Every structure is written in structure tokens, then in C-alpha cells.
Amino acid sequence: MKINAQRIAQLINGTVEGDENAEVGSFGKIEEAQKEQLAFLANPKYEEYLYTTNASIVIVNDTLELKQPVSATLIRVTDAYISFANLLQQYQQMMQAQLKGIQQPSYVNASAKLGNDVFIGAFTYVGDNAVIGNNVKLYPGVYIGDEVKVGDNTIIHPGVKIYLGCIIGSNVTIHAGTIIGGDGFGFAPQENGSYKKVPQIGNVVIEDNVEIGCNSTIDRATVGSTIIRNGTKLDNLIQIAHNVEIGCNTVIAAQTGVSGSTKIGKNSMIGGQVGIVGHLQIEDGAKINAQSGVTKSIKQKNTAVTGSPAYDYTSALRSQALSRNLPQMEKRLAELEKLVQQLLQEKIGF
């Protein structure tokens, strides 16, 4: 599908500088783009490629001052990076809008309710009394369990499994291989040293505008719900345990694990490979550095922590600065001890 510069400018509120009829059919990085591809320039470090690129159209900032002529048609916008992201999103939506209907082989239970313009890919299973909203895209190999609800405009990528009774909101994206609603890790120790499984009869609720990366797992609650609030973004390979609640617009990077019944506030930022123990309260706006181990509740809003066990980020930086100076401090201490010995010898005469 090709589109010209004039139409692109309309989509992103930009101004064309050059040939309004220049057309592109795909995207490329500014240093690699070829003819009939669109690129963008947001980072000044890449400006040199603007003068050599083969791209037909380049999105640039309004403030860019050209140092030499360019062959590409430019579209000037307030923020090139954001405009490029918006354009990619619109392009993706146009491509996905073309997906409709039910591919075979697949199974859709007679009691399931399907909205308008739904796409169900081959080898997909939709269970008893499931409800699939309008414009939902279920890619091949998706499993939708009994009584699952999926909101409008949600995209579920290949191989995702959503267990019994879980609720997925609108405008949610779940990437390949993720499992929603598997049993929480609940086992009661017995007197003989064995463990008895505690039935996990709750569900998972994922609110609107959430994105979940590949191969993540979100466990169903023992009772009640494991909840991912509106606007939260989870990276790949994340484990969310039973009865966890994650607040609105929180972002969590890859390989992080959150143990059972922990509550994380809104607008928090959690780095990769963070481990959070169970039954904690993490207040709004927390910032947890990568590879931190959180063993205690974070009770003040907008607190930054690092380390294992995690503690105040500013204090950690001071400790690191001190540790770097330890060899020099050891040398100074040895010199002071030597000086003290000399003064004592002079005072007592030996």
C-alpha cells in the first residue's frame, strides 16, 4: 500500500517541504532506507544521514536547519519521533483492519458471542460463553477459555492462552506465548513435609489500554482477582503472581517477578530482573532500579530504590562513591596510624 507525502502530512499534522506527490510503501532507518521508503530524523547524531539517505520521504523536526541540500521530501512536525510513532500506529491499524472472518480449521463454541469485524485465525479455540468484542483480532493458535471476555479492538497474538473466566479490556495488546490465568503458586505445607495444592478459583482482570510482551505469565487469584490496571505496559518474560495488583500506567521491564498479593501503585517504573517479594505495598510513582530485590514495602510516593535488598537510590549512590574511595582511605588510615605511633614514641621517649 503506497501513500504520498501530502496524505502523510495530513495524518501527522505536518508541513511538506519538497514533492507533495512523492510516494512511499514501506519504512526504513534513515541510514539504510531505500527509494519509496519513509524514514525519520529525531536524534541530531544521525543528521549526517539526512544528506545521503535514499529515502523518498523523511519526517524531521520543525526546528531543523539544513546545512546542505537534501534529495528527500521532508515533512516538518513539532516532534519527529512522536509523529513517526503515531504514523506507524495508524499504518498498523489500517493493516489490521483488513483482517476479518474466521479461518479454518478453528473452533468457536455455539454459545460464544462474537462482535463485529472479528478476526479468528486458524487453529484458534473459543470456549463456552466466551464474549469477543468488536474488531478483536485473535491470531492463529490462540486459546480463549470458557467465559472469557475480550473487549473491543484488542489484539491477541499467536499462541496466547487465556484461561477460564478471565477478563481482558479494550485496546489491549497481548503478544505471542503469554499465558493469562494459569494457577497461582499456592501450596499448603503438611505435617509429613509434603504440600497440598490450594485451589486457585479467582481470575485475572486486565483493564483497558494494557500491553503485555511475549512469554509473560499472569496467574489467576486464589480468590478474587489478579488485576492489571489501565495503561500498564509489561515487557517480555514477566511473572505476575496470584492476587497481585498493578496500578495504572506502570511500566515493568523484562524478567521481573512479582510475588503473590503485592500491590504496586500507579505510574511506577520497574527495571529488568527485579524481584519483589509477596504481600508488599509499593506506593505510587516508585522507581525500582534493574536487578533490585525488594523485600520491604515502599511506603512513600515517588521513592527510588536500588540494590538487593533494595534501599534508597540516593543513599546507594553515596555508598558506591565511598566504596570507590576505600583503597585511598585505607592508605590514608595507614599513614595516620604510622604518624600516631611516631608521636607516641616522641612523647614517652621510646
Grade residue 98 by pLDDT with cuts at 50, 70 and 90: confident
Q: What is the pLDDT of residue 345?
A: 81
- Share in percent of the chain as helix, strand, coil (round to 5): 20, 30, 50
Query: Residue 50 in 3-state DSSP?
Result: helix
pLDDT number for residue 118: 97
Average pLDDT over residues 150-176: 98
Asked if residue 281 has pLDDT above 90, the reply is: yes
CB proximity list for 249: less than 8 A, separation 6 or greater: 229, 230, 231, 232, 266, 267
What is the spatial distance between Cα 29 and Cα 143, in angstroms, rounded to a whole number? 36
- pLDDT at position 349 over 70: no
Report the alpha-carbon distance of residue 17 to residue 68 in Å, rounded. Answer: 14
Give the residue-averaged pLDDT of 142-169.
98
Reading the block at residue 192, the C-alpha cell is 509429613
In this model, does residue 60 exceed pLDDT 70?
Answer: yes
pLDDT of the residue at 350: 53
The residues carrying an active-site annotation are: 242
CB 246 within 8 A of CB 204: no
The whole-angstrom separation of Cα 134 and Cα 83 is: 27
Average pLDDT over residues 109-129: 97
Per-residue confidence (pLDDT) for residue 346, from 0 to 100: 78
Burial of 7 (0-12, 13-18, 19+ CB in 10 A): exposed
Cα→Cα distances 159→173, 226, 232, 320, Å: 13, 21, 22, 44
Residue 311 has pLDDT above 70, yes or no: no
258 has a pLDDT exceeding 90: yes
Computed over every residue of the chain, the mean pLDDT equals 94
- Where residue 325 falls among pLDDT bands split at 50, 70, 90? confident
- Whether residue 192 contacts residue 267, with contact meaning beta carbons closer than 8 Å, is answered with no
Q: What is the pLDDT of residue 274?
A: 97
Q: Which residue has the higher pLDDT, 307 or 215?
A: 215
What's the rounded Cα separation, in Å, for the pair 281 and 338? Answer: 52
What pLDDT is attached to residue 97? 76
Taking 80 as the threshold, does the pLDDT of residue 132 lie above it?
yes
Mean pLDDT, residues 115-132 taken together = 97
Q: What is the mean pLDDT of residues 157-170?
A: 98
